[in-house]
Structure 1
Amino acid sequence: MQTLWNNYVNTFKGLSREVWWLALITFINRAGTMVIPFLSLYLTKSLGFEVSDVAWIMSAFGLGSVVGSWLGGKLTDQIGFYKVMTYSLLATGILFIGLQFLNTFVSFCIGLFLVMVVADSFRPAMFVALSAYSKPENKTRSVTLIRLAINLGFSAGPAIGGVIIASIGYGGLFWVDGITCIAATLVLITVLNPRSAKQLDDVKTENPKSAYGDKAFIIFLFAMSLFGIVFLQYFSTMPIYYKDAHFLDEIEIGVLLGMNGFIIFIFEMPLIKWLENTKFSKTSLMLFGATLTGLSFVILNLTSWTGILIIGMLLMTFGEMIAFPFSNAFAMDRAKKGNQGEYMALYSIAFSVAHIFGHNMGLQMIGNLGFNNTWFIITGLASVCVFLLFFLGRFLNIKKKKKQLLTEVEEEEILWI
């Protein structure tokens, strides 16, 4: 047991102090985002909106995320990641508190759009900060540590959120979310001031290339958008499925969602460190993660046994644990030859696009086609994602071989000269 513990602890060694502070800030912020998993339930149960209305509100959520990610990338390249993160966290906290006072369809669409514009401007800045504060050999594990912080906060958030709803109602979620964002801002200002923080990697790149001309990166973005659409069903349609098809209450839903974060907290870092030492490429690992996530939906149609929900959550969790860290590391590797803010903004936008279409599409499908047909369609989208990642791997291998061939030709020419 002591050996296992020592091996687990060793997976965290070598990460910079600034990365640990980023993880703490992310944990504080994420612990309060208990509104998001319950948002579809809040809109239907508390505000009385139809499922079709909720679908369009979630599209406003995604559209705001797209705009915020793009804006965050631009501002990060212009004024730096520290200012963007600080202003984003503070303003998000204030806006989340105000969101609870909106109760009409139009006002909630506008309000949620503005919240996400401000909130998701944080993401590209955080990724650039993570790249700046991480040693090159530690970037995948640094990403994993941030994800652990996210999921540790998320494992507690839904469970606590269910208790808050049962005791004081949905309004308490907005207050907690807003206050934790403000608390994260105070921690950021106190411990991660750029004057005292030593950057380990250069953020700027000489003669940067445009991310829009990077063909491999564009293929990758399409695949990640599809993966995002599939993955996000667990935060919009799946809670409704738990409640309507399996009759779980809010506390049980919170515990089931919280299990996802707890498993990631325990297993992800050792898993990632082990996978880094294997011969598998990042694209192969992303492909495997997407496959597991797709399987988590199709098995729901095999039986009406409630225990299948746990199996589905386990498949999705391990798929997520593999796909997200290596996709993030892939994006940061590609960003080395361009403006990092632009690259990481596009990476964030891929998931923001998923927010626009994923929630709306999923909610519309369960309303019109039922849960079973919806899970088959979502599995089909996961299959397309897997195909794109397979194609991406082949594309990169061909480019690598061409580059090696050109290098050999150049070396031969030099010898002849």
Structure 2
Amino acid sequence: MLKTALGRYINNFKGFTREVWILALITFVNRAGTMVLPFLSKYLKENLGFTYGEVGWIMVAFGLGSMLGSWLGGKLTDKIGFYKIMIFSLFTSGILFFILQYITTFWGLCFGMFIIMAISDMFRPAMFVSLSVYAKPENRVRALSLVRLAVNLGFTAGPTLGGLIILGMGYQGLFWVDGSSCIIAILIFAFYIKEKKRIPLISDDIETKTVPKSIYKDKPFWLLLFISFITAMVFFQLFTTLPLYHNEKFGLTEFQTGMLLSINGLLVFLLEMPLVSFLERKKVNKVRNIAYGSVCIAAGYYVLLLDSWVGILTISLILLTFGEIFSFPFANAVALNRAPKGQEGQYMGLYTMSFSLAHIASSKTGLEIIGHYGYQVNWFVMGSLGMLALFCCIWLNKMVRIEQ
């Protein structure tokens, strides 16, 4: 029985080209290497002595740089190709991580974090476009899921490795390892993958309907961006306000919160590929899958209104994880499928920008609501935003059917 289940699970990973596996590998190395990020606030506050307000502004510069990088990466990918952008982004950001450890002033760090994220996040839209070249048409959504899996594994491994490096080498060691991982990842990419031009794909998905030449007139795509922003902003509460809630309401320690959040990574690892493969085989409408995800995310916050039992935290986490599994890989695929030939970079640049903006808005919005009205109101608002995303999915589905 166990052998059969394991065989079925492994089958979900078959059929990818060598290039897709290498892209997943360098994504894992790169994401595991961004181990500076979970410790950045602590480093700025405790080691460099900045106030909470100054740390907040440095993190805003971090988010704004990420948004600029996503947009710029998309534009340049269309002009000079994803291959050059990926190599430039990872190699240069690796060098900049080496330099960042020597910057200790407030304005220097604001500027430094803005620049490093602007260059680092040029990688993301270029990487998404590369999947449209190296992945087979029938494997595209699974390839996106494989890369997401690599991201999740990288983020799981990164903080653990980062903590060990800080113990052994201090924060300086963290910057050296982080920069080195970026350079190693891109050297693997350049050595094993050769540049390849995009070939137009023919598909019968409703998302591949020809769209206006101007991205700014593609109304279904902008509605998709709004849905992606809302669902991401709500989901990211998992890493911003929920850990505070664990401690203040139920007295959980950092270790207990960490163990609880690790369930998210474990479930994504075990379930995302099989679920995506199943839904792909059944040819379930991708927008409908995003809608299912929105419902799960909304339910994940509504159940927190029943706050008399600590077990509700686990139920909430499981619902949010299923929301992530249903929403994000299929939203990725819809965005990529809508892009006309030669505009893939612009589309994926704006798509990744929606996540960067969601990161900025998530903690600020949640903490403001909690500060003025308490946790219960925040969970109600977040659940209601999840339902708003559901109604927008229904609207989006109608729009693409009319367009068809």
Q: Return the alpha-carbon distance in structure 2 between the equivalents of residues 60 and 340 of structure 1.
A: 27
- Measured at CA, do residues 42 and 219 of structure 1 come closer, stay the same or move farther in structure 2, by a change above 3 Å? same
Match of 1:291 in 2: 295
For 1:95, the aligned partner's letter is L
Q: Give the alignment of 1:99-114 within 5 angstroms.
A: 99-114=100-115
Contact 2:211 2:340 in 1 (8 A): no
- Measured at CA, do residues 168 and 362 of structure 1 come closer, stay the same or move farther in structure 2, by a change above 3 Å? farther
1:187-229 deviations in Å (ceiling 9; x for gaps) = 11221232xxx667349xx998222211111111111111221
Contact 1:92 1:119 in 2 (8 A): yes
Contact 2:27 2:151 in 1 (8 A): yes
Q: Give the alignment of 1:8-19 within 5 angstroms.
A: 8-19=9-20
TM-score w.r.t. length of structure 2: 0.87
Contact 1:99 1:174 in 2 (8 A): yes
Q: Greater CA deviation, 88-97 or 315-324?
A: 88-97
Q: Give the alignment of 1:3-402 within 5 angstroms.
A: 3-43=4-44, 53-164=54-165, 172-194=173-195, 201-202=199-200, 209-278=213-282, 280-303=284-307, 305-337=309-341, 339-400=343-404
Contact 1:140 1:329 in 2 (8 A): yes
Q: Return the alpha-carbon distance in structure 2 between the equivalents of residues 385 and 340 of structure 1.
A: 24
1:279: Cα distance to partner? Answer: 5.3
Q: Return the alpha-carbon distance in structure 2 between the equivalents of residues 378 and 45 of structure 1.
A: 32
1:330: Cα distance to partner? Answer: 0.4
- Measured at CA, do residues 131 and 279 of structure 1 come closer, stay the same or move farther in structure 2, by a change above 3 Å? closer
SS at match of 1:34: coil
Q: Return the alpha-carbon distance in structure 2 between the equivalents of residues 149 and 122 of structure 1.
A: 15
Contact 2:78 2:342 in 1 (8 A): no
Contact 1:293 1:316 in 2 (8 A): yes
Q: Greater CA deviation, 13-22 or 38-47?
A: 38-47
- Measured at CA, do residues 358 and 330 of structure 1 come closer, stay the same or move farther in structure 2, by a change above 3 Å? same
Q: Return the alpha-carbon distance in structure 2 between the equivalents of residues 180 and 75 of structure 1.
A: 24
Q: Return the alpha-carbon distance in structure 2 between the equivalents of residues 166 and 256 of structure 1.
A: 24
Contact 1:51 1:364 in 2 (8 A): no
- Measured at CA, do residues 95 and 359 of structure 1 come closer, stay the same or move farther in structure 2, by a change above 3 Å? farther
How many residue pairs get matched? 396
- Measured at CA, do residues 6 and 71 of structure 1 come closer, stay the same or move farther in structure 2, by a change above 3 Å? same
Q: Greater CA deviation, 259-268 or 354-363?
A: 354-363
- Measured at CA, do residues 165 and 23 of structure 1 come closer, stay the same or move farther in structure 2, by a change above 3 Å? same
Match of 2:204 in 1: none
- Measured at CA, do residues 346 and 22 of structure 1 come closer, stay the same or move farther in structure 2, by a change above 3 Å? same
For 2:199, the aligned partner's letter is D
Q: Return the alpha-carbon distance in structure 2 between the equivalents of residues 272 and 69 of structure 1.
A: 26
1:320: Cα distance to partner? Answer: 0.8
Contact 1:157 1:258 in 2 (8 A): no
For 1:26, the aligned partner's letter is T
1:76: Cα distance to partner? Answer: 0.9
1:284: Cα distance to partner? Answer: 1.0
1:73: Cα distance to partner? Answer: 1.1
1:186: Cα distance to partner? Answer: 1.9
Q: Greater CA deviation, 162-171 or 211-220?
A: 162-171
1:179: Cα distance to partner? Answer: 2.5
Contact 1:133 1:201 in 2 (8 A): no
SS at match of 2:128: helix
1:24: Cα distance to partner? Answer: 0.6
Contact 1:294 1:383 in 2 (8 A): yes
Structure 1 unmatched runs, 5+: 401-417
1:158: Cα distance to partner? Answer: 3.0
Contact 2:230 2:385 in 1 (8 A): yes
Cα-Cα RMSD: 2.9
1:48: Cα distance to partner? Answer: 5.6
1:94: Cα distance to partner? Answer: 2.7
1:118: Cα distance to partner? Answer: 0.8
1:4: Cα distance to partner? Answer: 1.5
Match of 1:413 in 2: none
Match of 1:415 in 2: none
TM-score w.r.t. length of structure 1: 0.85
1:309: Cα distance to partner? Answer: 3.0
Q: Greater CA deviation, 19-28 or 240-249?
A: 240-249
1:305: Cα distance to partner? Answer: 4.3
Contact 1:41 1:240 in 2 (8 A): no
Q: Greater CA deviation, 39-48 or 298-307?
A: 39-48
Q: Return the alpha-carbon distance in structure 2 between the equivalents of residues 380 and 162 of structure 1.
A: 37
